[in-house]
Structure formats: C-alpha cells, structure tokens
Amino acid sequence: MEANAASHPDQSEMKGEMNNGITDDVKSAPKKMTIEVAYAEPDTQVIIPLTVDEGTTLEQAIRQSGVLETFPDIDLAVNKVGVFGKLGKLNQVLRERDRVEIYRKLIADPKAVRKQRAAEGKKMRKGGSITDQ
C-alpha cells in the first residue's frame, strides 16, 4: 500500500489539474458582467448590450461595443461620457448592469430657449406644442 500511495502525485503537484473540482485556469479567469453602451443622435438611438470582464473602464466598454465604428463622429476627447445620466471619466471602472452613455453637444441651450419663449409670450402646452398667450 505504501508504494502505491507514494506513486500518486500530491494535489499540489498537479499543475492545471482539477483541484476541488475547479481548474487553476478557471480560478484565474476574470469574472464577467453585463453592461450596456448607449448613444443617441436626433434620428437614431442605439443601446448595445455587452458582456465584459470585471474591472472594465468606460473607455474600454465603448471601444468593445463597436459604437465608434458605427458613429465615426464620436470623439472621446470631445464627447462627455457617463453612467446612468451622471458624468464620468473614461478611466472609471464599471459595475454589473451599468449603462454607459455617450453624450452629444447640445445644439441649443435649454435655458436660452425657455427665456426666448417667455420673451415672445409663448407657452408650452402638454404634448409639446406651442401656443400664443
């Protein structure tokens, strides 16, 4: 019996072999998480579901999503980015179920439009139509 026990390698000697049902490769593999990357133009909106490694940053997720190829006008040096409507930085690490958003520059300042409307004596009705007072 002793000779037979000595001929079997110790579990610590089995490199890459199963250890408690889990291989060394599986233990070291990064965990995955699901996120979304969203971008909208006046006539188009895309929400791209993505599975990424834990520790992925906003910039990495945007690049992995392929949105930069679909919308070549996006410039990460110019466009602001965020998660769920809160501004973020490109190096911000994402969490499970985050929605990465890429923001466009506003064409008109909403405050200026409201002031102009008020000065002209117009009022916004429900449904978005404008009437004279």
The domain ranges of the chain are 24-106
- pLDDT digits 0-9 by tens, 83-129: 999 999 999 999 999 999 999 987 777 787 788 888 887 655 555 55
Pick the CATH number of 24-106 from 3.40.605.10, 3.90.650.10, 3.10.20.280, 3.60.150.10: 3.10.20.280
> How far from the centroid of its chain's Cα atoms is residue 104's Cα?
16
User: DSSP letter string over 60-121?
Assistant: HHHHHHTHHHH-TT--TTTSEEEETTEEE-TTPBP-TT-EEEEEPPPSS-HHHHHHHHHHTT
Give the chain's mean pLDDT. Answer: 81
| Backbone phi, psi, residue 73, to 5° | -75, -15
Q: Is the entire prediction scored with pTM above 0.85? A: no
55/5: higher pLDDT: 55
Mean pLDDT of 70-79: 94
Edge-to-edge strands, sheet with 99-103: 44-53, 32-41, 99-103, 80-83, 86-88
Maximum average pLDDT range among 11-20, 47-56, 104-113: 47-56
